């Protein structure tokens, strides 16, 4: 089947599904069974609260595959995530959950907004991992908030915050370790947390995506940036950077692949 007919087939399949939500980098569709969602990864890149935008050929395919890799690994070590399975090049099946309206950021080295805010040079190692929370609201530019705001406005309970902190630190240890093994420093990252209801109980799980869109990844030897800062700061080809991460992790074939070719 030629590319054209494959694309139109994908198009017609997608048209029949109910779109639940379209964000900057992903689209969510109703899943095949109750409690599931299909997460579609777009090629769109945005930065600075969508003031800078572009379409980066192949980014969605790479992020679908990388997020699968990280979430699968987390599931395997007992850190619960929304990930069920990858469906195709751009889509994965995930558990539907209620997103806690917080961006949970873990930092190992100073960079980005923390460096600006506190005047700490980018790349300075922090005395210990620092967890920050931002309130998820694009119209406000996702402002930094404290646990006082979170409790007072009821975004999450104290028990939730204990669970979120523990999830965030476990994700940090896991991600730092697998990155270190392939010569990459995990500078910082952002995760989102979902609430799932099981009978009378609720549980918190890692949701959304974990990919170079939401992490800072620096080559340990050269300091080269292998994450979305390549796009934010115009440092080169974003797909090349993400492909390099995928290649080192064994998610792409070991050859000098610059295009996102899948192993299976």
Q: Residue 198 CB, nearest distance to ligand UDP (Å)?
A: 28
CB of 46 or CB of 96, closer to ligand UDP: 46
Identity of the residue, 33 or 51, whose beta carbon is nearer to ligand UDP in the bound complex: 51
Residues between 105 and 144 that touch ligand UDP (CB under 6 A): 105, 111-114, 142
b/e map 70-82, b = 16+ CB within 10 Å? bbebbbeeebbbb
From the centroid of its chain, how far is CA 113?
A: 18
Q: Are 120 and 114 in contact (CB under 8 A)?
A: yes
Q: Does 46 bind ligand UDP (CB under 6 A)?
A: no
Between 31 and 179, name the residue whose CB sits nearer to ligand UDP: 179
Burial of 222 (0-12, 13-18, 19+ CB in 10 A): exposed
**In this structure, what token pair is assigned to residue 100?**
């806690």
Nearest CB to ligand UDP, comparing residues 27 and 104: 104
Q: Is 215 in the site for ligand UDP (CB under 6 A)?
A: yes
DSSP of 14-79? HHHSPEEEE-SSEEEEE-SSTTEEEEEE-SEEEETTTTEEEE-TTHHHHHHHHHHHHHHHHHHTT-
Beta bridge partner(s), residue 177: none
Q: Kindly state whether residue 100 participates in binding ligand UDP, applying the rule CB under 6 A.
A: no
The size of the interface with ligand UDP (CB under 6 A), counted in residues, is: 14
For 7, other C-beta atoms within 10 Å of its C-beta total 11
Binding of ligand UDP at residue 26 (CB under 6 A)? no
Kindly state whether residue 216 participates in binding ligand UDP, applying the rule CB under 6 A: yes
Query: How many of the other CB atoms lie within 10 Å of CB of 247?
Result: 17
Is the CB of 6 or the CB of 140 nearer to ligand UDP?
A: 140
Rounded distance, CA 134 to CA 6, Å? 40
Pick between residue 29 and residue 133 the one whose CB is nearest to ligand UDP.
133
Tell me if 174 contacts ligand UDP by CB under 6 A: no
**Stretches 31-39, 52-60, 186-194, 246-254: which one binds ligand UDP (CB under 6 A)?**
186-194
Q: Which of 63, 67, 214, 243 is close enough to bind ligand UDP by CB under 6 A?
A: 214
> Min. distance of Cβ 122 from ligand UDP in angstroms?
10
Residue ranges in contact with ligand UDP by CB under 6 A: 103, 105, 111-114, 142, 188-190, 214-216, 228
């Amino acid at each position: 089947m030629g590319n054209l007919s494959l694309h139109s087939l994908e198009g017609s399949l997608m048209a029949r599904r109910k779109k639940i939500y379209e964000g900057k980098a992903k689209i969510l569709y109703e899943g095949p069974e109750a409690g599931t969602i299909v997460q579609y990864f777009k090629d769109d890149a945005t930065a600075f609260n969508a003031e800078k935008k572009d379409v980066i050929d192949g980014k969605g395919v790479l992020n679908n595959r990388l997020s699968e890799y990280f979430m699968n690994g987390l599931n395997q070590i007992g850190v619960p995530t929304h990930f069920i399975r990858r469906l195709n090049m751009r889509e994965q099946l995930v558990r539907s959950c209620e997103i806690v309206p917080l961006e949970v950021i873990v930092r190992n080295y100073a960079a980005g907004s923390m460096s600006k805010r506190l005047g700490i040079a980018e790349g300075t190692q922090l005395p210990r991992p620092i967890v920050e929370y931002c309130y998820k609201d694009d119209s406000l530019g996702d402002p930094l908030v404290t646990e006082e705001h979170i409790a007072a406005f009821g975004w999450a309970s104290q028990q939730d915050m204990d669970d979120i902190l523990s999830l965030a630190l476990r994700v940090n240890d896991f991600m730092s370790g697998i990155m270190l093994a392939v010569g990459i420093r995990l500078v910082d990252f952002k995760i989102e947390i979902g609430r799932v209801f099981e009978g009378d109980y609720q549980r918190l799980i890692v949701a959304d995506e974990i990919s170079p869109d939401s992490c800072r990844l620096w080559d340990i030897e050269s300091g080269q940036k292998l994450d979305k800062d390549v796009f934010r700061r115009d440092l080169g080809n974003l797909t090349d950077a993400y492909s390099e991460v995928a290649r080192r992790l064994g998610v792409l074939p070991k050859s000098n692949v610059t295009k996102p070719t899948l192993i299976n």
